[in-house]
Structure 1
Amino acid sequence: MKKFAKENLKPICSPANLDLCDEDRKKEISDIQALPAAELTAKIEEKQKEMKEAEEEFEAEVKKLQEHYQELTKSKDEKVAAVKSSGLGLMKSVQSHAQKAKQEL
């Protein structure tokens, strides 16, 4: 495990490791560091709010899908039950009996 960590887990570009950043990323970090603390906090909160809204939208749509799935399942089950109660089993039994009778001849 140490070998894996040593080979694959390396420092990445960050404020603590600017030497690993390209010029564009260094500028981004510099611009963010220049923000007043209150403004940075507000921007972070806004981004977190966007993420929360995306998650809530996703959950709501998944719930709708689950409800639709349940409706479809219920409809299918009702249709299958109606077909079975309309004599399907008896028809299959008659067909099977007729085939056995032919084989015996």
Structure 2
Amino acid sequence: MRQLHLHVISQDFDSTHLKNKIQWNSFNTAFFRDSMDVVVEEVSSDGKAKLKDDDRLLSMELRCHRCRSAHPNIPRLKSHITNCRAPFPSTLLQNGCLVHAPSNVSIDQ
């Protein structure tokens, strides 16, 4: 049985490990594909999910994942996202992609 590597990510993006443009863009552009968008046949025939233009996607300007405003660097972007109250993009709300945890529940429990 082959291994399938998936990520479940928090939409607060508040991590000391998120340090550069490539990391940000890997989760906030079309580079990051929802598991529902990867066709089983693609993985079966090619052994992996393929993506065109990965270098272009990873080098795109830094944009807030909620309001899409552009920022010159990671520190400025992180400062912005701490205060951004724009609604989540509708693509995350479709098909149950975004799961809201009650505010009194800690993921670390």
TM-score by length of 2: 0.21
Bigger fraction of residues in helix: 1
Larger Rg: 1
Higher relative CO (Cα under 8 Å, sequence separation at least 6) belongs to: 2
TM-score by length of 1: 0.21
